[in-house]
Amino acid sequence: MNALKIALVYDLRGDYLAEGFTPEQVAEFDTESTISALEETLRELGNGVERVGHGRALCKKLAQGDRWDLVFTIAEGVHGRSREAQVPCLLEMFGLAYTFSDPLTCALTLDKAMTKRVVAAAGLPTPRYAMVTSTAEVRKVELAFPLFAKPVAEGTGKGIDETSRVDTAQQLGEVCGRLLERYRQPVIVEEYLPGREFTAGVLGTGPAARVLGVMEVRVKPGAPAADYSYKVKEMCEQFVEYGPMEKGPLRSEVESLALAAHRALECRDTSRVDVRLDAAGRPSFLEINPLPGLHPSHSDLPMIAAQEGMSYRDLIGAILASAAIRHGLL
């Protein structure tokens, strides 16, 4: 692949903390170590790289006439349930090539309920769910306990804690009321899956997509919550045990489900798919992330790559090559 002039677009935690955002509000954003690793790796692959920053900085650059061969964007956006689509929308408006999924997929997959509708329509297993937009709607929920409640359009475990799993109608009302007040968005309530949890990495687009690997996520005893919550994720080195899923028929089922979800939701270049086993030991789709974290050692996708023998450089190179092929840059 010829050398490309690449713009690096991202949301840096420090920038938003300086503006007065809370640590939880910036949990989905990237650290300086992630951006430095990406910049260094893209340069090692023979490309020129310009750090642009967040979407507002990109707007200024585009307005003054700056252009690049490709935009490597991991920007999450700040406001609204379609926030992950904001930078891709802007790039499409200006006709620029970019990495990862298009605005439709980015907007769709941040909304957990809309995602489940598409996944279910594709015939893929996912827990039964209900949407709660007010405390009055809690009593209309007709699902089997235990249940699991979380904000419908958040990532990085935001809104998930030790109270997210609920066993009674009273608990559900309390949890939903607290989430509605704090996050100002609907709450999705799902039937709780009691089995093992996995996350699968997928590389590529459409027919060329393939499963990179599957990693099991085990929350240790003594963690702030029994499930993969915000606090648990932030302190994963202390409270989470990661390891490759053993090969066999069950792993094949998990891989098939992850790949089918990636394709059904039309993710591009890469995604990370969360899967959990139900009471009968069958895999079920939980969520998908079309903009998975890319910290070399802390983020799940690079960890999956490492366990499969793929270096961080090769992982970023594969993502870059996938985007370059889509845009005819090879």
DSSP string, 275-286: EEE-TTS-EEEE
Residue found under tokens 């039964």? 128
**Residue 227 has what pLDDT?**
86
**Residue 40 has what pLDDT?**
98
User: In the structure encoding, which two tokens stand for residue 231, read together?
Assistant: 């606090």
At 296, give phi and psi (nearest 5°): -55, -35
User: In the structure encoding, which two tokens stand for residue 121, read together?
Assistant: 């329509």
What are the boundaries of each domain within the chain? 5-100, 109-124+194-326, 129-191
What CATH number has the domain spanning 109-124+194-326?
3.30.470.20
**Residue 114 has what pLDDT?**
97
Provide the terminal-to-terminal Cα distance of the chain, rounded to the nearest Å. Answer: 6
- β-pairing verdict for 197-203 and 270-277: antiparallel
How much is the average pLDDT of 284-306? 97
* 3-state DSSP assignment of residue 244: strand
The pLDDT tens digits for 176-189 are: 999 999 999 999 99
Please name the fold of domain 129-191.
Dna Ligase; domain 1 (3.30.1490)
- Please determine, for residue 2, whether its predicted confidence score (pLDDT) is greater than 90: no
The pLDDT tens digits for 248-265 are: 999 999 999 999 999 999
How much is the average pLDDT of 77-101? 96
Say how many CA atoms lie within 13 Å of 3 toward its Cβ: 7
Contact 9, 54 (CB under 8 A): yes
Cα Rg, the chain, nearest whole Å: 20
How sure is the predictor about 92, in pLDDT bands with cuts at 50, 70 and 90? very high
Return the CATH architecture of domain 5-100.
Answer: 3-Layer(aba) Sandwich (3.40)
Type of residue numbered 66: D
d(CA 101, CA 35): 19
Residue found under tokens 């329509």? 121
Type of residue numbered 203: L
User: In the structure encoding, which two tokens stand for residue 287, read together?
Assistant: 């969520």
Contact 305, 213 (CB under 8 A): yes
Higher pLDDT, 175 or 237: 175
Count, residues in the chain: 330
The pLDDT tens digits for 113-152 are: 999 999 999 999 999 999 999 999 999 999 999 999 999 9
| pTM (predicted TM-score) | 0.95
d(CA 78, CA 75): 9
Contacts for 178-184 with beta carbons within 8 Å, 24 or more apart?
179/149, 179/150, 179/151, 180/132, 180/133, 180/134, 180/135, 183/151, 183/154, 183/158, 183/159
At 250, give phi and psi (nearest 5°): -65, -40
* 3-state DSSP assignment of residue 105: helix
User: In the structure encoding, which two tokens stand for residue 102, read together?
Assistant: 């298009």
